[in-house]
């Protein structure tokens, strides 16, 4: 089981959903980066369930940095964060431990790891493992802020309710990053109603997260196997529930002519810009200096309280399952800070590749 992301800056995850602790190690982080404990706590709070529309498994996310930090600055050695799991109901998973939950990783984990994987709460496949990603990502987000690189996300769509696209990126990134329910227009109540309706019917809904990364310098990424799109996609597909990604216009390029969507260049105040940003800030796999914009498709939470068809993995027979436990009727709100953290890792890693360690001094 490989659990390492990155090239120069690497992230390693460890632990399972119902073990005593989970955590992560960042290696390759430059020395001298401030570690803001309160900002880490704030990012973890944004990931934590906070209302009646979300899971009742609420952890306090007590964490401890056990290496790589001294006097509130990174030392340059591997930085490891451990986080306690306290609110565990493992008995919820005993009744169905041989049944493959539809659209979960149970069956593939059973086959790949020969029945030895920890099935409680999804084990290492659980969304609980996004907690250390957020904790470590908070440190990297702060490092990028010093370079004026901003990463913002909002819920572009939840069920069939739609928000507006990023437009005034400078202003809107700052706005959505302050919100617990990040949307640009006045659609929060409608989205929450849609989530409530799904919950009332023992179901769940998906949506789309839109991401904007601003002030990325020209030149990040490689033209073929390490394109900026490819590196971002690899990291973001590590987040459970993300099933699609499109940069700029994405699939909407399909019914357009080049004359309609080509991003024409011009110079303003000695800076090269494009009149439109249909390519989402990336040409030839390399950042072009415009805001990097892309959308992520988030599937409905597969844990729903309806009877479903499945199999008994041990007996190899058809069966039925009713999932018990504590689950979100929509995971999209909580996922926003996870996406920001993942994007921060990729951008920081690509900066180190292209600019070297001095970029963060």
Whole-prediction pTM: 0.93
Instruction: Provide the token pair at 11.
Output: 């992230």
**C-alpha torsion 141→142→145→150, nearest 10:** 30
Q: What is the pLDDT of residues 42-98, one digit of tens each?
A: 999 999 888 677 776 677 889 999 999 999 999 999 999 999 988 665 566 667 678
pLDDT the model gives residue 56: 64
Residues of the chain with pLDDT under 50: none
Query: What does the pLDDT read at residue 127?
Result: 78
pLDDT at position 59, please?
A: 73
In a 3-state reduction of DSSP, which class is residue 194?
A: helix
pLDDT on residue 93: 63
Report the distance separating Cα 308 and Cα 197, nearest Å: 20
Rounded to the nearest 5 degrees, what angle is found at the Cα of 193, between the Cα atoms of 187 and 196?
A: 145
CB 105 within 8 A of CB 125: yes
Q: Hey, what domains does the chain have and what are their CATH numbers?
A: 4-360 (3.60.150.10)
Contact of 293 with 281, CB cutoff 8 Å: yes
CA distance 206 to 255: 25
């Amino acid at each position: 089981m490989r659990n390492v992301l990155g090239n120069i800056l690497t992230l390693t995850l460890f632990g399972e959903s119902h073990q005593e602790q989970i955590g992560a190690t960042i290696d390759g982080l430059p020395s001298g980066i401030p570690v803001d404990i309160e900002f880490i706590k704030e990012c973890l709070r944004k990931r934590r369930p906070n209302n009646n529309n979300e899971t009742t498994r609420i952890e306090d996310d007590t964490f401890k940095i056990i290496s790589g930090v001294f006097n509130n600055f990174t030392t340059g050695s591997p930085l490891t964060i451990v986080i306690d799991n306290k609110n565990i109901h493992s008995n919820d998973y005993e009744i169905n431990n041989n049944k493959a939950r539809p659209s979960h990783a149970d069956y593939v984990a059973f086959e790949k790891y020969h029945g030895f994987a920890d099935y409680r709460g999804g084990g290492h496949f659980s969304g609980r493992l996004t907690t250390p990603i957020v904790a470590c990502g908070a440190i990297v987000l702060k490092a990028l802020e010093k370079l004026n690189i901003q990463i913002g996300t909002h819920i572009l769509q939840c069920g069939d309710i739609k928000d507006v696209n990023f437009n005034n990126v400078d202003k809107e990134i700052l706005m959505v990053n302050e919100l617990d329910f990040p949307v640009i227009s006045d659609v929060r109540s409608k989205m929450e109603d849609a989530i409530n309706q799904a919950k009332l019917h023992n179901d769940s809904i998906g949506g789309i997260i839109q991401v904007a990364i601003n002030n990325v310098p020209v030149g990040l990424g490689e033209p073929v196997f390490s394109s900026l799109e490819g590196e971002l996609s690899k990291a973001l597909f590590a987040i459970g529930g993300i099933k699609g990604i499109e940069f700029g216009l994405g699939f909407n390029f399909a019914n357009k002519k080049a004359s309609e969507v080509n991003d024409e260049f011009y110079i303003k105040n000695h800076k090269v810009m494009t009149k439109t940003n249909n390519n989402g800030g990336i040409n030839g796999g390399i950042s072009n200096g415009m805001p990097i914009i892309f959308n992520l498709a988030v599937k409905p939470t597969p844990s729903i309280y309806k009877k479903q068809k499945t199999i008994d993995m041990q007996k190899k027979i058809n069966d039925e399952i009713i999932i018990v436990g504590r689950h979100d009727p929509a995971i999209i709100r909580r996922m926003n800070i996870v996406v920001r953290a993942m994007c921060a890792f990729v951008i920081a890693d690509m900066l180190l590749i292209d600019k070297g360690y001095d970029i963060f001094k």
